[in-house]
Chains A and B, each alone.
Chain A
Amino acid sequence: MKQNKFVIKQISVFSENKPGRLAAIARALQEEEINILAFSIAEADGFGVVRALVDKPKKAHEKLGGLGFNVAFTDVIAVQMKDEPGGLYETARILGEGKINIEYAYAYSGKEGAVLILRVDNVEAAISAIQKGGGTLLESSLFQ
């Protein structure tokens, strides 16, 4: 897949579900002065994956890997939403009409408005469907 300016590198960290694991990850990122822009935790049976958008993903990968964490990069995309009632609907409608299957998503609302982070099975197809449907994608350079 050729590098697309809309493809953002999310870091995914394997973590056992026990007290102190998130703190250990967050402290490691703080030590490297890495800023977390958005994050979520997905939990399964006794373990989970901490997903984060950070400003320095490579550095985060190195630091966490060096501490023994199991880290992987995952490609995600970010869609700009209106931070007002109906904002999510408008974005979700575009995705649905574009027949984009969402594996998971998480959102944040910041100064520039609300942003929906999406993990989809086919990133390229999703990007063109969102653009065709009139949605606004955020470039990775905005984050990283």
Chain B
Amino acid sequence: MFWDEKTETLPKRDLERLQLKRLKKTLSQVQNVEFYRKRLHEAQVKPGDIRTLADIQKIPFTRKQDLRDGYPFGFFAVPIHEVVRIHTTSGTTGKPTVVGYTRNDLNTWAHLIARNMTMVGLTDQDIFQNMVNYGMFTGGLGFHYGAEKVGMTVIPSATGNTRRQIEMIQDFGVTAVHCTPSYAMHLAEVAEEMGANLESLNTGLFGAEPWSDSMRAELEKKLGVTAFDSYGLSELFGPGVAFECPERDGLHIWHDCYLVEIIDPATGEVLGDGERGELVVTPLVKEAMPLLRYRTGDITMQIEDDCLCGRAKKIARITGRSDDMLVIRGINVFPSQIEHVLLRIPEVGNQFMVYVDRINHLDEMTIDVEINRDYFSGELQDLARIQKKVVKELHDTLELRTTVKLVEPGSLPRFEGKAKRVIDRRSEM
């Protein structure tokens, strides 16, 4: 199903023409931002120098730190009275990043969310419970307005009180939910404890943190939903930047609104299709806060083949963040890889914590994982065998020796917002 079929399926040439037109407009828009006037002047790039889409490579990158330095309104390209909404990015060190929206921006954003929700088959017949933070986090209001645009019955349940969330799903006959994948897992566990039936559910939209395909299988089994991955970040409006279609084999990023590049995070070199690197996006339709070549920090790649659904090229699901990436004894490790391994092993639970230390100048990674209640035989040797199995499976995937600690079921922290599962203690020494 399409929300805006013509735009979503534009032929390549028309799409590129539209992108170039919008890129040029964005370039004139950023002239209202002192940071960009200076930056482009230093790089000796004049608006007239951008004649083709490839010319974008002449423009320097914009980093998260640049946005922080502009706190609070340094990146607004319109007078503050034209900004009708402000959000800030979720928990990072130092000052938050402020993002602003004009009335048109909010409308554009809601339409993008409506595209995504329609793409996965949701309609005005659906009853939608939005179980994310409704405050400064963009996930709450973003999805809320998109779902209303489609005409769904929207329940702004926000976060917390999981038992109440479950009761509402049951009492209101909720058909679709949106939350983080880790909260969805928590919801499933609590529903299981309560013996609650969630049979009205059939669609789950999960985002704001990377999650694996095995976690998808687990969530689908436990909640009885078809699960779709949602991708976005506040700097690019919020959620809705890219989304899975029913093929569920990569994310459709909306090329008429976002110009995509993949770069090597270390060198800045632009990579080709099929090469994994950092996603760099130039939003093409933002009024209040236009950005040029914004480094998202998210690791993905462009998928060469077009999708069967008729929409253009996809990017791969996010496998981690360039700044979450741990380098352990020279090997790159993403927490999502660990999660993926654990989900394959029934003897242990899905929650985990990773601790990284430096012992005798060597990086040591310790992973705490819960034993699955049903697999405890009472024998120490069986536990030792499970521990060995986890170490081996992790080694097979990460090519790294780790220490695995088995802990009691239910003893690891559960996260309702963005999960913080890695504690790197190497800098403390």
Contact = CB atoms under 8 A, between A and B. Distances in A.
Interface stretch (B137-145, B234-242, B310-318, B372-380): B372-380
Give the interface residue-count category, chain B. Answer: 10 to 19
A68 B376 contact: no
Contact of A46 (B379, B380, B405): B405
Interface string A4-18: 000000101011100
A70 B376 contact: yes
A73 B378 contact: yes
Interface string A43-84: 011111100000000000000000011111110000000000
Interface in A1-48: 10, 12, 14-16, 42, 44-48
B408 A44 contact: no
* B contacts with A: majority SS: mixed
A68 B406 CA distance: 15
Contacts of A14: 371, 376, 383, 406, 408
Interface string A91-105: 000000000000110
Given A14-B371, A45-B387, A68 B379 contact: no
A68 B387 CA distance: 21
Contacts of B383: 14, 44, 47, 49
B327 interface: no
Given A16-B408, A45-B405, A46-B406, A72 B377 contact: yes
B160 interface: no
A42 B373 CA distance: 19
A12 B379 CA distance: 8
A47 B407 contact: yes
B80 interface: no
A48 to B, nearest CB: 7
B59 to A, nearest CB: 52
B410 interface: yes
Contacts of B373: 70
A108 to B, nearest CB: 20
Contacts of A42: 380
Given A72-B378, A73-B378, A74-B378, A45 B408 contact: no
B275 to A, nearest CB: 40
Nearest to A75: B378
Nearest to B374: A70
A15 B408 contact: yes
Contacts of A49: 378-380, 383
B410 A72 contact: no
Interface string B402-429: 0001111111000000000000000000
A70 B386 CA distance: 15
Given A14-B371, A45-B387, A68 B380 contact: no
A16 B378 contact: no
B409 A44 contact: no
Given A69-B408, A71-B378, 7 more contacts: A16-B406, A44-B380, A47-B407, A48-B380, A49-B383, A68-B408, A70-B409
Interface of B: 371, 373, 376-381, 383-384, 387, 405-411
Interface of A: 10, 12, 14-16, 42, 44-49, 68-74, 103-104
18 contacts: A15-B408, A16-B407, A44-B380, A44-B387, A45-B387, A47-B383, A47-B406, A47-B407, A48-B380, A49-B380, A70-B373, A70-B376, A70-B409, A72-B376, A72-B378, A73-B378, A103-B379, A103-B381
6 smallest A-B Cβ distances: which pairs? Answer: A12-B378, A72-B378, A74-B378, A70-B376, A46-B405, A42-B380
